[in-house]
Structure 1
């Protein structure tokens, strides 16, 4: 399966009920307030934190590679009485009508781009969609291998009184040369009529601080800050969770 199609079908339903954390909208609110509107959230999923920013009165569009997530986001926006543009496009091939003063990824969504070529094309697309003085926020993550004891452990949640959703990590392959971690997982929907099963490969492609600097330079972007999320100080090369703020370089990329 194309990594961009991971969030589809049963996975979308399981994600909504089994995710381990929620996004705090405040860092994204502050980023947009600092750098300006309109703003674009890449990887908006089912609307978190996008819809909270819209509810705060900010002019923010959303884009996601998953058609099912986009449909759910639009439904949730309508339920909350919010008006926002939500588009079904890939980060590496953005083609939107507006340019944005603020562009941000919701969490380390950039790590879902499967290789350096795709990541580079996404950065070029971001540059094309930024205003001349705009800025983009890119959280990044270097994942550790999944602990062995976490495999074959099933997480579950009720979808309704007669339906149970399940998630189980089955196996994993970590490739330090390609900087990828591929986790094979099983999603299940258990109903009185039977069990629906979907096996998916969740691919994380990570970047080092120096590698991300190089990708940005080739895309005509300048890294104005690269901050270690744990310390709030400039990120050393060994950082495993850090956030970049980038702007357009002058002239063509």
Structure 2
């Protein structure tokens, strides 16, 4: 198991809506077919569902801030003989060569933006790259506090080289006023006499409906629908992942 996959998997286990994110390209292909091409996936990571969409011949670019994740994406694309265009940029500092009819996130990466100012910068960048009549899809959720019994619990897995991987929640802080939750995760890798221990903060920032709508309006966007991934109308008050559809005002 890749250490990054193990770390991400533990985070997904802690935050239920992350586990429900579909990496199946079909729901996103349906969104793109309705909203139009070209399309842009924000936070494309190591290639799901981007590579599946490209395999279908859809004109979809990708953006991610992680050079490591994009390198993994490129390796997979080469192995699958898929041509793909990706950019290493932060979501709040987009500067791309063209505009898109569809801009989407395939997971709640927007909640990783640390505050409203950064979120507003990201939304303004999205607006600047949205073609006339285009659609934006932003998944959001409100994280639940980590249960007390999860604090200190160690999860283990084995790496391909035989190393033992361990991840545990060390501590968590939640600020209802700032709408942030910071979970400190300890990652350990033990292989014979060699050991590596690293602690990583995982910060989530959530948005009540009114606040997200205010940010979108400031960026020149309007919320036109709140749905599940299949497009069924739902409530923004649910603790599950919901998808905000936006269009330019």
2:179 counterpart of 1:187: no
Please give the alpha-carbon distance, in whole angstroms, between the structure 2 residues aligned to 1:203 and 1:30.
31
Partner residue in 1 for 2:146: 146
Residue deviations 1:34-67 (CA, integer Å, cap 9, x gap): 1111111101111111111111221111111111
Who is 2:213 aligned against? 213
CA contact (8 A) 2:100 2:129 kept: yes
Give the Å deviation of 1:14: 3.2
Task: Go from structure 1 to structure 2 and tell me whether the alpha carbon gap of 1:117 and 1:91 turns closer, same or farther (over 3 Å shift).
Answer: same
Q: How far did residue 183 of structure 1 move?
A: 0.2
Q: Deviation per CA, 1:166-193: give whole Å up to 9, x if none.
A: 2211110011000001000011222224
Contact 2:27-2:230 within 8 A present in 1 as well = no
Output the TM-score relative to the length of structure 1.
0.87
2: distance between equivalents of 1:141 and 1:117? Answer: 18
Matched residue, 1:116: 116
- Residues 208 and 17 of structure 1, relative CA distance in 2, 3 Å threshold: closer
SS at match of 1:186: strand
Query: SS in structure 1 opposite 2:159?
Result: strand
SS state of the match for residue 96, structure 2? coil
In 2: Cα distance, 1:139 partner to 1:80 partner = 28
Separation (CA, whole Å) in 1 of partners of 2:54 and 2:107: 18
Corresponding position of 1:24: 24
Distance 1:100 1:229 in 2: 20
Deviation (angstroms), 1:86: 1.4
Unmatched 5+ residue regions in structure 2?
A: 14-18
Counterpart of 2:238 in structure 1 is: 239
Match of 2:6 in 1: 14
8 Å CA contact 1:137–1:244 kept in 2: the answer is: yes
State the secondary structure of the residue aligned to 2:170.
strand
Task: Give the distance between the partners of 1:133 and 1:59, measured in 2 at CA.
Answer: 17
Instruction: Note if 1:92 corresponds to 2:92.
Output: yes
TM-score using structure 2 length: 0.89
Q: Please give the secondary structure, in 2, of the residue aligned with 1:103.
A: strand
Matching residue of 2:16: none
Taking structure 1 as reference, are residues 242 and 75 closer, same or farther at Cα in structure 2, changes over 3 Å only? same
Aligned to 1:59: 59
CA-to-partner distance for each residue in 1:130-171, whole Å, 9 max, x for gaps? Answer: 101111100001000011111212222222142222221111
Taking the aligned partners of 1:171 and 1:144, their CA distance within structure 2 comes to 14
CA distance in 2, matches of 1:17, 1:140: 19
Equivalent residue pairs, number: 239
Which residue of structure 2 aligns with residue 222 of structure 1?
222
1:131 aligns with 2:131: yes
